[in-house]
Amino acid sequence: MTYILKNGRVVDPANGRDGIFDIEVRDGVIVRVGQDLPVPAGTTVLEVPAGCVVTPGLIDMHVHLREPGQEHKETVASGVTAAVAGGFTAVACMPNTSPINDSAAVTRYIRDKADAAGLARVYPIGAASVGSKGEQLAEIGELKTAGCVAVSDDGHPIRTALLMRRVLEYAGMLDVLVIDHCEDPTLKGDGVVHEGPVASELGLHGIPGEAEELWIERDITLAGLTRTPFHVAHLSTAGSLRAVRAGKARGIQVTCEVAPHHFVLTDEALRSYDTNTKMNPPLRPQADVDALVDGLADGSVDVIATDHAPHHADEKALSYDQAPFGITGLETAVSLTFDRLVHTGRIGLSRMVELLSVNPARILKVTGGALSEGAPADISVLAPDLKVTVRASTQRSLSRNMPFEGWDLRGGVAATIVGGRVVYRNTAVEGLGAWPPAAVQ
């Protein structure tokens, strides 16, 4: 099929574009980008709705798809359905499935499930250690050959400095990214929320921010020692950001991501005792939130990633101490970013695209991040002024554990295109009626 996306504002920072452009797509590939492109005979014209923005496909480099082993929370199919509804053309999924993704067999299983779903691209992340137990190095070469784009023991920090050094050395030789969940388990103890006045008032065990900061300092030091790229998962404190900035200033190849809930919510939200405010890292005080927003604006933070962590309602119905950490995020990230960062003037659209598309593609070394001629047509069409009321009941994820129920937000997703195919079309956006039907709408 050949079609032209016509008269849309294209924001494509990797190619220096921000203006009205047409994009011609043929057989799943971008073949031309230009202004007022002629329409050859037999070519379909898809008018971009007024006010919408065309960007490179968004990439979420930190999600949990739960399959195999926890299909009551999420499957690969339901996860990628949520992804395209959230505007993401690709996701990278963490290895804490059951069994752990520490073998080529599990990696291939996930990829097969993603192929069968036929929606967003799925890039598996393999375990850094066997069983993510922090004892024995996983077969990183085998994982890369099977399709893993990075390694991590996410959910657990890579346990010892020596093992982290070996992971970095081995992954560096294989050109595989290392991602760590940075948290000193001895300082975390049995904490469930941020250590501070709110935790004390509520009688909940706290986790000091230093538990994260110490671990990040360790990993940055080892990344410098081994001269290997290292990525900090879900960074959440001002001190952690200082460590990343200092590492970058020393020339160490360190990057980091921030989750939307960490730049939107503070630990004051805990007063509801809603277990959907329980995540790891925990919600932090306002000073940390302010520092993260500054980092998102000034370029110190590289990526917005959701840490999409589905849990069944029965699990989140336990007491605060007993409920699992984590919330879903794929279907709220774009609206939260528009509402709290773009419309408040903290970042522009171009910076938003860098955080959600350009930089994830660059760091993971995967396709995407630019609307270039000859590239696969992975495209997100965003609606910056769409009025969105968040309702868990309308979300596509199998799980509904998120703390934004009923929030009114400005900004959302109009359509998602993967490999030239329109896979999601938002029926709430006017002007998409002539577009082809989508698998998700």
Q: Which residues are the active-site residues?
A: 307
Q: Would you state the structure tokens that stand for residue 181, as one six-digit string?
A: 């969940």
Listing DSSP states for 238-264 in one string gives HHHHHHHHHHHHTT--EEEEE-HHHHH
Identify the residue whose tokens are 């605060």: 320
Largest Cα–Cα distance of the chain, in whole Å?
Answer: 70
Q: Hey, how many other C-beta atoms are within 10 angstroms of the C-beta on 6? A: 18
**What tokens were used for 177?**
């990214």
Q: Which amino acid does the sequence have at 401? A: N
DSSP string, 205-242: -EE-HHHHHHHHHHHHHHHHHHT--EEESS---HHHHH
Whole-angstrom distance, CA of residue 143 vs CA of residue 27: 31
Q: What are phi and psi of 296, to 5 degrees?
A: -65, -35
CA distance 194 to 270: 10
Residues ≥6 apart with Cβ < 8 Å to 95:
101, 102, 106, 124, 125, 126, 127, 132, 151, 152, 153, 154
8 Å CB contact between 393 and 37: no
The SS3 call for residue 377 is: coil
First to last CA, the chain: 21
